Copies of this chain bind each other. A is one copy, B any other.
Amino acid sequence: MIRRQVIDPAFPQCPIRNVLARIGDRWTLLTLLVLDAAAQPLRFKELCQALPDVSQKMLASTLKALEADGLVQRQSYAEIPPRVEYVLTDRSRTLLPLLHPLVDWSHRHLDDILASRLRYAEQQAEAAE
């Protein structure tokens, strides 16, 4: 028995598709965690440095998506040189406590999962002979 309203992809406003798909993308979750760990507003450049291999383009589009969803707030100051800071919102602060257990789970199970992947790859290689 499936809880269709919650997980049915045919349900026009399937929450999983609309919400989790976004935090599941490559940089969104990482960005939220960096802001959370910093516990203070961060500038574009600081975020860029905290995520060593994000490109400016991807960080910019990630931040725009987060801002559109009301998960970060963008504060721009009319200064020279310009300064823009990003902060978590009340909405994202209700989300982060749910994300931490997931991060911890990943951390705890990483070694086992990597071992499983290796074993699986070996089995596939054997079967191919």
Which residues from chain A sit less than 8 Å from chain B, CB to CB? 1-3, 6-10, 13, 15-16, 18-21, 23-26, 29-30, 33-34, 37-39, 50-54, 67-70, 91, 94-95, 98-99, 101-103, 105-107, 109-110, 112-114, 116-117, 120-121
A105 in contact with B94 (CB, 8 Å): yes
Nearest Cβ distance between residue A46 and chain B, in whole angstroms?
A: 10
Question: When A15-B107, A19-B109, A120-B68 are in contact, do A98 and B102 touch as well, CB less than 8 Å?
Answer: yes
Question: When A10-B52, A18-B106, A107-B15 are in contact, do A112 and B1 touch as well, CB less than 8 Å?
Answer: no
B107 in contact with A98 (CB, 8 Å): no
Q: Collect the chain B residues with CB atoms within 8 Å of residue A50's CB.
A: 2
